[in-house]
Amino acid sequence: MSEIRRAVVFDTSKRIDGVACINEWVTYRVDGSRQSESKILVYPEELRSDQINLSVLSPLGAAVLGMSIGRRMKFFSIEGGVHSVIVENVVAPAGAPLLFPLKARREASRASRAR
Question: For 24-58, how does the pLDDT look when each residue is reduced to its tens digit (9 = 90+)?
Answer: 999 999 998 999 999 999 999 999 999 999 999 99
Domain spanning 2-114, CATH class: alpha beta
Question: For 62-94, how does the pLDDT look when each residue is reduced to its tens digit (9 = 90+)?
Answer: 999 999 999 999 999 999 999 999 999 999 766
Q: What percent of the chain has pLDDT over 90?
A: 56
Rounded distance between C-alpha atoms, residue 7 and residue 69, angstroms: 16
Mean pLDDT of 6-27: 78
Rounded distance between C-alpha atoms, residue 21 and residue 92, angstroms: 9
